[in-house]
A and B are shown apart, each in its own frame.
Chain A
Amino acid sequence: MTHQILVTGNAAAAWGARLSSVDYIPAFPITPQTEIIETLSGWINNGEMDSHLTMYESEHSMITAAGSAATAGVRVFTATSSQGLMYGMEMIFAIPGWRVPFVLVNVSRGLASPITLECDHNDILAARDSGCIQIHCSTCQEILDSVIIGYKISEHIKIRLPVIVNLDGFYLSFTREPVEIPEQHKVIQYLGEYNPMNDIYSASAPQARGLIVLVGSQYSYFRYQAHLANLKALDVYKEAAEEFTLQFGRNYSVIESYKIDDAEYCFIMVGSFSTKAKSAADLLRSEGWRIGLIRPRLIRPFPSEELRILLSGIKGAAVIDQNISFGKGGILYTEITSALYGADGNYPVTGSFIGGLGGRDITIDEFIVIAGEMREYVQKGKQPDTRLLFTEDELQQIKKIQLIAGTENS
């Protein structure tokens, strides 16, 4: 029977893997992900889960093994975070070319340097161009459900690419929320028994995988095939999400929109802080604003068309990036504006705000300031410059610390 329990985001990810009946879990610990593999290991050790977990000595090895095991015909789950994703990045880029399915959960954490344990999205967005599909979550329920939907997409005959399900370190990984645990047999019914298709090695049917090509035209062809498969995942995602809604009742469109129908203004962001954007929108609406939230769940493939539909007619959109591309600015902002540029239609003035780096909070007050600034720019009819969400108080604190460190003169 379906039941609701109070679990962390990490445990929700583990439940997603368990309910999907994964065969194999290559693992390596890293904060704030470790709880996922410990939870799975616990279930395997006490016989609640029929799966095999192997501890690797690095994420590079772990992700290699996730891919190689997938070429050998088993359903694979793995998880990492931050530096781990970066350490395995060679394979994150290599394995989509093998065209094999698996789900990797990334628990977002800011990248060194300076080293931190807290959340931002530079880790997952570094994998943006890898070929892996990316689903970004904002609640614990969504994490569990996205792992299941992830397998449905990843294993689809037209896709065969790894899916990365992203959740925010600490804000989701260690936050308990009520989560409905679907029944195992219904999940299996939804996913079907694992079908390895051509991904199997056997004595009677040998195969060669991951071969070198020495000709640019062959390379171009296979690379573009992976691109087309990734694009195709938009439609496959929609089908998978619809079927999920029929089976389990919860609805996951490629972009979540909140109070957007009559909106003049909106926040655009991914991840758990978007739930704060909803609260801010509610507060602003009580003061007469027509404002909402747009939250892309898919970052790869990027839902450009769906975004254009939602943004059409909106006057001002504030893109809040919990990441920073040094020398350019917010990554999501670049993605959003490139989807709008040159498109026919009436699109908003878009502002770029960088916030929440390394787990720094984004306060409701800041959302309200952002909305106010967007209104000014809409009135002026020009795009604002990129802004970092950072207060005068914070700056004073930094200066004090720098005095202690002796790195800055007062």
Chain B
Amino acid sequence: MSEGLIKNIKDLAGEHNLASGTSICAGCGALETVKLFCDILGKNTVFVNAAGCMTLLAIYPFTPFSGSWLYTAMASASAGAQGIRDALDILIKKGRLSAAEDLKVIVLTGDGSAYGMGLSATSAAIDRCLDFYYLCYNNEGYGNTGHQDSAATPYGARTATSSSGAGFIGRKKDLFSIWAAHKPAYLATVIAAEPMDFARKVETAMKIKGPKMFISLAPCPTGWHYEPHQTVSIGKLAVQTGIWPLKEYKDGKVTHTKVIKEKLPVEEYLKLQGRFEHLFTPEKNLVLINEIQSSVDQYWIDI
């Protein structure tokens, strides 16, 4: 990865392909993700969007993107991307569009679509070896509608539909493994709070043809209940506690790109977020905290 153009954090400051002034919430981890992705990928892009928070980036008659945009529906953005990729290939093959005008096709979805309604269309796009990028900003709930639980909601988190007791009782779906089982060309977890790891992965993907899948943990002040200025620190803690493993899948192998030697206790991450407040007040719920800790520990033992 060292042959890439982005060698240090200053290299990330060069190009800005997403305009500011959108209607996205202050401190939005998904916006950080999209911005970083756009800056690295360049201007020659078409984003195909599924219903979610980022749908509100482009509100008629404005778009913050330097490239193109198509909103499709919640379930079928990957199919929309296939239609556009196929059309671009047809036009270039038939000489109706010059290769210099070609675009990178990117699906932009939240976890509500990626982990649930959009899974079928995405699975099929990987089956067809579609040459595209798929960026899931994962804020671990249906964020745009007030943060109800989705298939990406972590165990124990309170959401608008798991608002009492121990919080969400389901287990977060392992989308990385589901996608890896499809053998895509490239697959990675990322987080905008670790921009160098993020950038290297996007750069790696840019050299590969085929499905290039990204799941970005996107801290969400309004859904996770913390102050907007904490987005980056919470993101870093997600990695340092081992809760959000940074990894990639390439050539049939999974590699962890940031292995934390001295992991912080999960408590450090949980206690900053209102959605986990019930684990700490009125008294500490050690059973539940330990359960979350041991599942994280087990993950790192198993790999």
Contacts from A to B (Cβ < 8 Å)? 23-24, 26, 52, 54-58, 60-62, 64-74, 90-91, 94, 200-204, 206-214, 218
A206 touches B65 (CB 8 A): yes
Residues of A within 8 A of B56 (CB): 212
CB distance from B26 to the nearest CB of A (A): 19
A68 touches B124 (CB 8 A): no
B59 at the interface (CB under 8 A from A): yes
A–B complex contacts, Cβ < 8 Å, 5 sampled: A23-B87, A55-B128, A57-B127, A203-B43, A212-B71
B91 to A, closest residue via Cβ: A73
A214 touches B59 (CB 8 A): yes
CA distance A201 to B86 in the complex (A): 12
A62 to B, closest residue via Cβ: B79
- Sorted nearest first, the 3 A-B pairs with minimum C-beta distance are A65-B83, A61-B79, A72-B87
B83 touches A68 (CB 8 A): yes
CB distance from B65 to the nearest CB of A (A): 7
Q: Out of A57, A64, A70, which one reaches B72, CB within 8 Å?
A: A64
B120 at the interface (CB under 8 A from A): yes
Residues of A within 8 A of B88 (CB): 72, 201
Residues of B within 8 A of A218 (CB): 60
B86 touches A24 (CB 8 A): yes
B78 to A, closest residue via Cβ: A61
B176 at the interface (CB under 8 A from A): no
B96 at the interface (CB under 8 A from A): yes
B73 touches A94 (CB 8 A): yes
A94 to B, closest residue via Cβ: B73
Binds A, one of B100-108, B206-214, B242-250, B265-273: B100-108
B196 at the interface (CB under 8 A from A): no
A64 touches B73 (CB 8 A): yes
B83 touches A26 (CB 8 A): yes
B77 to A, closest residue via Cβ: A64
B24 at the interface (CB under 8 A from A): no
CA distance A66 to B66 in the complex (A): 25
A72 touches B73 (CB 8 A): no
A68 touches B90 (CB 8 A): no
Residues of A within 8 A of B84 (CB): 68-69, 71-72, 201
Residues of A within 8 A of B67 (CB): 203, 206
CA distance A54 to B97 in the complex (A): 20
A23 touches B124 (CB 8 A): no
Residues of A within 8 A of B78 (CB): 61
* Additional A-B contact list (16), CB under 8 Å, known A67-B72, A206-B68: A24-B90, A26-B79, A56-B79, A57-B121, A58-B124, A61-B82, A64-B72, A64-B77, A73-B97, A74-B91, A90-B73, A200-B91, A203-B44, A209-B71, A210-B71, A212-B58
CA distance A67 to B86 in the complex (A): 12
CB distance from B170 to the nearest CB of A (A): 25
| Residue among B58, B69, B71, B76 with the highest chain A CB neighbour number at 10 A | B76
CB distance from B171 to the nearest CB of A (A): 26
CA distance A231 to B67 in the complex (A): 34
Interface residues of B in 4-48 (CB under 8 A from A): 43-44, 46, 48
B238 at the interface (CB under 8 A from A): no
B202 at the interface (CB under 8 A from A): no
CB distance from B42 to the nearest CB of A (A): 9
A210 touches B44 (CB 8 A): no
Q: Out of A52, A71, A213, which one reaches B90, CB within 8 Å?
A: A52
A23 to B, closest residue via Cβ: B90
Q: Out of A202, A209, A212, which one reaches B101, CB within 8 Å?
A: A202
B87 to A, closest residue via Cβ: A72
CB distance from B34 to the nearest CB of A (A): 15
CA distance A64 to B69 in the complex (A): 15
B123 at the interface (CB under 8 A from A): yes
CA distance A57 to B79 in the complex (A): 9
B86 touches A202 (CB 8 A): no
A202 touches B103 (CB 8 A): yes
Q: Out of A57, A67, A201, A203, which one reaches B123, CB within 8 Å?
A: A57
CA distance A206 to B103 in the complex (A): 10
Residues of B within 8 A of A208 (CB): 58, 63, 65, 68-70
A209 touches B82 (CB 8 A): no
Check A64/B79 contact, CB under 8 A, given A208-B69, A210-B71: yes
CB distance from A355 to the nearest CB of B (A): 36
Interface string of B117-139 (1 = CB under 8 A from A): 00011011001100000000000
CB distance from A349 to the nearest CB of B (A): 45
Residues of B within 8 A of A52 (CB): 86, 89-90
CA distance A213 to B56 in the complex (A): 9
CA distance A52 to B87 in the complex (A): 9
CA distance A111 to B212 in the complex (A): 39
Residues of B within 8 A of A201 (CB): 46, 68, 84, 88, 103
CA distance A184 to B103 in the complex (A): 33
CB distance from B71 to the nearest CB of A (A): 4
B80 at the interface (CB under 8 A from A): yes
B253 at the interface (CB under 8 A from A): no
CA distance A188 to B135 in the complex (A): 41
CA distance A204 to B82 in the complex (A): 21
B87 touches A73 (CB 8 A): yes
Residues of B within 8 A of A73 (CB): 87, 91, 96-97
Residues of A within 8 A of B61 (CB): 211
CB distance from A386 to the nearest CB of B (A): 37
CA distance A212 to B91 in the complex (A): 28
CB distance from A61 to the nearest CB of B (A): 3
Check A56/B124 contact, CB under 8 A, given A71-B70, A211-B69: yes
B81 at the interface (CB under 8 A from A): yes
B75 at the interface (CB under 8 A from A): yes
B68 touches A207 (CB 8 A): yes
Residues of A within 8 A of B261 (CB): none
CA distance A207 to B124 in the complex (A): 27
Residues of A within 8 A of B90 (CB): 23-24, 52, 74
CB distance from B228 to the nearest CB of A (A): 22
CA distance A102 to B19 in the complex (A): 34
